[in-house]
């Protein structure tokens, strides 16, 4: 009799293990699915296993370890911030209302005081802000990037990280390149694949031609992407013409640095020929309208780039210039800025694509859509509010949405925020640490 009981118990355990094996980790039910893959599905279901989307469609009977009701909500891919400097949250508002050159000088004086601990505090604060507002992935370049990587590990976000390089600042060129190569080797694929790495020369203006060639060679050796500012200001355009007789785009093209592996931030002062080069080389442009406007840098020719077929993603830039890391505000800025000449430009769906599909393509990650096989980076947005009673949900989200409407944020299948509550780390501690770090730098 005892043997029969043990045998029965063993069968039950085996059956349980089989059920667990074929059970989804997470199911999201009942929401309006904005798939960014050509369809909107009412009362839809998304199933997730091992950090990957396994089903998108109408409701099915699917057992899961966790089920989230998205009734009254829109379910969509997480937003992607394709250009920022995360620890600059500590410098938010510090140099407001200054022209770009004066702003840069004041900010760099403050940055000289930053310690690794300060950078980690600012990065954790930035990650918290992004999780709360529905950003699941970001591309970042700054200093003390090991601390930023630790913040990504801790908070559960996805990021493409590049250790910034300004030639002649702090280290000699050889040491700088060696340290950046070490960073790429150490962190690429870390945090269970949530961290990828990039080489991040600041700009063609702040790095010599010879230095940029060495960066390109390092990137080619390991197939690593490159993140760089390109023609952000008219001053850069004039300086490059004086120094080399050509602009930054032409110089980068001349040294074979441009290609689909490049994130080119800002790209404001472009000629027709420059746009043609970026198109032909498959370069990813990152548009940062709020920062550009705040610093008086100019208006990028984004509608023309999109019309030419250039992949244009969206970024906030650092919070010291753009103020907010809320990608909803950035989408609204992008939408309205370019309608000033023609209201038909930058329709809402196109702007949302910039913040999802295009951002994923720019960062080289399989995300940005609700699609079987894509990474499970998903947000749930409460649309059961007056703002979203509309004839066009996507238009209402892009032009009226805000980070405060994001109810739940999921990265790699893991819930980082549910019903506005952060899970897995202490947000009060993060904010307190950031306050202390800020007071030691600028107060």
CATH of the domain at 308: 3.20.20.140
- pLDDT given at position 169: 66
The answer as to whether 310 is a domain residue is yes
CB 86 within 8 A of CB 148: yes
pLDDT of residue 72: 95
pLDDT tens by residue, 288-347: 999 999 999 999 999 999 999 999 999 999 999 989 999 999 999 999 999 888 899 999
Domain of residue 138: give its range: 79-363
Statement to judge: residues 71 and 103 lie in one domain: no
Please indicate, yes or no, whether residues 42 and 102 belong to a single structural domain of this protein: no
Domain closes at, from 363, 398, 413: 363
The pTM score is: 0.92
Q: Are 307 and 342 in contact (CB under 8 A)?
A: no
DSSP-assigned letters across all residues of 72-93: TEEEEEPEEEEEE-GGGGGGTT
Residue 283 in any domain: the answer is yes
State whether 238 and 345 are in the same domain: yes
Residues 212 and 271 in one domain: yes
In a domain, 443, yes or no: no
For position 2, what pLDDT does the model report?
Answer: 42
- Write down the pLDDT at residue 18: 39
pLDDT of residue 188: 96
Evaluate whether 84 touches 111 at the Cβ level (below 8 Å).
no
Q: Tell whether 438 is covered by a domain.
A: no
Enumerate residues 6+ apart whose C-beta is below 8 A from 233.
100, 268, 269, 297, 298
Asked whether residue 172 is domain-assigned, the answer is: yes
User: The domain spanning residue 35 has which CATH number?
Assistant: 2.30.40.10
Asked if 123 and 151 count as a contact pair (C-beta separation under 8 A), the reply is yes
pLDDT at 170: 66
Q: Which residues of the chain have pLDDT under 70?
A: 1-22, 169-170, 442-443
Q: Find where tokens 């960066």 sit.
A: 215
- Residues 135 and 57 reside in one and the same domain: no
Question: Chain-centre distance of CA 76, in angstroms?
Answer: 15
Domain final position from 363, 397, 416:
363
Asked whether residue 237 falls in the same domain as residue 260, the answer is yes
Structural domain contains residue 436: no
* Beta-ladder partners of 375: 52
Domain count, the chain: 2
Cα–Cα distance for residue pair 339/359, rounded to 1 Å: 22
pLDDT at position 131 = 98
Same domain, 267 and 379: no
349 and 376 within one domain: no
């Amino acid at each position: 009799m005892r043997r029969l009981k043990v045998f029965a118990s063993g069968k039950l355990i085996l059956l349980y293990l089989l059920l667990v094996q074929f059970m989804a980790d997470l199911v999201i039910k009942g929401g309006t699915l904005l798939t960014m893959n050509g369809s909107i599905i009412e009362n839809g279901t998304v199933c997730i296993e091992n950090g990957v989307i396994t089903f998108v469609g109408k409701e099915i009977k699917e057992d899961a370890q966790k089920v989230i009701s998205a009734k009254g909500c829109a379910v969509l891919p997480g937003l992607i911030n394709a250009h920022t400097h995360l620890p600059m949250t500590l410098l938010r508002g510090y140099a407001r209302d200054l022209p770009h050159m004066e702003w840069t000088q004041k900010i760099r004086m403050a940055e000289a005081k930053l310690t690794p601990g300060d950078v980690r505090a600012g990065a954790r604060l930035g990650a918290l802000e992004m999780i709360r507002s529905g950003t699941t992935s970001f591309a970042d370049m700054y200093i003390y990037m090991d601390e930023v990587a630790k913040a990504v590990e801790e908070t559960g976000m996805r990021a493409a990280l590049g250790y910034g390089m300004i030639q002649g600042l702090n280290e000699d060129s050889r040491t700088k390149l060696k340290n950046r190569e070490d960073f790429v080797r150490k962190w690429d694929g870390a945090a269970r694949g949530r961290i990828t790495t990039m080489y991040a020369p600041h700009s063609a203006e702040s790095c010599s031609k010879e230095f940029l060639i060495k960066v390109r060679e390092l990137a080619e050796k390991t197939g690593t992407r490159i993140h760089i500012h390109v023609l952000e200001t008219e001053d850069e355009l004039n300086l490059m013409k004086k120094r080399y007789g050509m602009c930054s785009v032409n110089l980068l093209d001349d040294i074979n640095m441009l290609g689909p592996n490049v994130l080119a931030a800002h790209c404001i002062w472009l000629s027709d020929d420059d746009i043609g080069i970026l198109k032909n080389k498959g370069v990813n442009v990152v548009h940062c309208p709020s920062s550009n406007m705040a610093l008086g840098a100019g208006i990028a020719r984004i509608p023309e780039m999109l019309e030419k077929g250039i992949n244009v993603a969206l970024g906030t830039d650092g919070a010291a210039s753009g103020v907010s890391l809320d990608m909803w505000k950035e989408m609204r800025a992008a939408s309205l800025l370019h309608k000033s000449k023609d209201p038909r430009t930058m329709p809402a769906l196109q702007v949302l694509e910039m913040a999802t599909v295009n951002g994923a393509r720019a960062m080289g990650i399989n995300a940005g859509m609700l699609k079987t096989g894509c990474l499970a980076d998903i947000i749930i947005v409460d649309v059961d509010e007056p703002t979203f009673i509309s004839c066009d949900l996507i238009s209402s989200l892009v032009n009226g949405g805000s980070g405060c409407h994001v109810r739940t944020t999921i990265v790699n299948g893991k819930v980082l925020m549910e019903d506005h509550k952060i899970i897995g780390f202490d947000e009060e501690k993060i904010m307190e640490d950031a306050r202390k770090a800020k007071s030691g730098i600028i107060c």
